[in-house]
Structure formats: structure tokens, C-alpha cells
Chains A and B, each alone.
Chain A
Amino acid sequence: GENVEQHPSTLSVQEGDSAVIKCTYSDSASNYFPWYKQELGKGPQLIIDIRSNVGEKKDQRIAVTLNKTAKHFSLHITETQPEDSAVYFCAAKNTGFQKLVFGTGTRLLVSP
């Protein structure tokens, strides 16, 4: 089955810096890759997603890149703000199946 690895587990940056979180997946049939942000005590919120027919997607300060050959995808946050502090999860899914497989999460801390 699918396995998703996520790095780093913790990331500390200064406000205004960029942050990059990387994930690798094992199943080459996976074709959908969402990213979720989870604040303390709340449910995960979808922030951006990408499909395997696209190499990059951007939404304001957030971007995701996908390398299908290497089977890895990354989340890029530019001009970080303290409110970006949260745990971020990547995930992978094959459209033919219901299961969304999650990475272990990255705790991002943005210091003012």
C-alpha cells in the first residue's frame, strides 16, 4: 500500500522567511496530493492540492510542486507570518481508492 514520508518534523523560521516542507510517496499510481493545516485542537483544513497532471500550483503565498518521476512533492510558504504557525500534513491518494494516506506532520513555528 501507499506510504507517505514527511520532513522535517519541526521547522522554525523568522517572520518573513520562506518555509519548505517535503513529502515522498511510494505508490506511483497515486495522483492526488493535498496539503492540510491543523491548528491546535482543531480539525485539519485543506490549504492547497495538486493532481498528477500538474507540476506546480500556486495560491497567493502558498505553492505546491510535484515531481512524479522522483515521487515527491513539496509545500512552499513565502513571506511567513505568525498565523502560519500550525502543523501541516501532506497526503497522497489514488483516485481509484477511497483511502487518503497522510504524512506524519510538520510543526511550523513562525517567530515574530
Chain B
Amino acid sequence: SQTIHQWPATLVQPVGSPLSLECTVEGTSNPNLYWYRQAAGRGLQLLFYSVGIGQISSEVPQNLSASRPQDRQFILSSKKLLLSDSGFYLCAWSVGTDTQYFGPGTRLTVL
């Protein structure tokens, strides 16, 4: 069966520091991968998606970037964090269908 991992689970970072969040999927090949952000008490906003290695599509212009160095690895990065980058970051995957499955999430607090 497929599983999705995200780390770290929780992160507290100062404003202006860099960021790297990692997502990996097991048990499937060539998944579509997604990064979402969820602000406190709000819905989910799609940030990036990838249909293959090195292929990244951005949905919202912002302070973040994404990379896919391996088939089942998706990384969310920032060179300098802003206060507004705080939130719950969720990675999701899909294969061959519309259905997306979410990981456990990373809680990011920027101080």
C-alpha cells in the first residue's frame, strides 16, 4: 500500500531564515505531487504541483519554491521566510486518477 511522509512535523523558524520541507511517497511510481498551505481555520490553497521529476507548476506567486529531485520526493523551500509564511503545509499525491491523498502535514511557525 502507498504511504506518504512529511518532515519535520513541526518547525519554528525566525523571519528571514531559510526553509526546507520534505515529502516522500512510498509504494507507487510516477505520482503527481502537490504542496498545499492551510492558514489557521481556513481552507487549503494549492501552492505547487508536479507531474514528473523536474516538472514544477506554480499556482500562487510567493516567497516559496518547490523542487522534485526524485520520482517520489517533493521539496518545498524558501530562501527567506516571512511572517505570512506561517501555516500548516500539506503534501498530497495522486496516481492515474483525480483522487488526492494527503500526508500528515508540517506545522510552520515563523516568529
Binding site for B on A (CB under 8 A): 32, 34, 36, 41-46, 49, 89, 93, 95, 98-100, 102-105
With both beta carbons as reference points, the residue of chain B lying nearest to A42 in the complex is identified as B104
Q: How many of chain B's residues have a CB under 8 angstroms from any CB in A?
A: 20
What's the A-B contact tally at a CB cutoff of 8 Å? 46
Task: Give every chain B residue within 8 A of A104 (Cβ-Cβ).
Answer: 42-43
Contact A98 B51 (CB under 8 A): yes
Given A32-B98, A93-B98, A98-B57, verify A43-B104 contact (CB < 8 Å): yes
Say which residue of B59, B90, B107 sits within 8 Å of A44 (CB atoms).
Answer: B90
> In the complex, are the beta carbons of A41 and B107 less than 8 A apart?
yes
Q: Which residues of A contact B34 (CB under 8 A)?
A: 98, 100
Does B17 lie at the interface of the complex (its beta carbon under 8 Å from any beta carbon of A)?
no
Of all chain B residues, the one with the shortest Cβ separation from A100 is B100
Question: Which A residues are CB-close (under 8 A) to B104?
Answer: 42-43
Chain B, residues 46-73, CB within 8 Å of chain A (1/0): the string is 1001010000010100000000000000
- Chain A CB within 10 Å — which of B43, B51, B103 has the most? B43
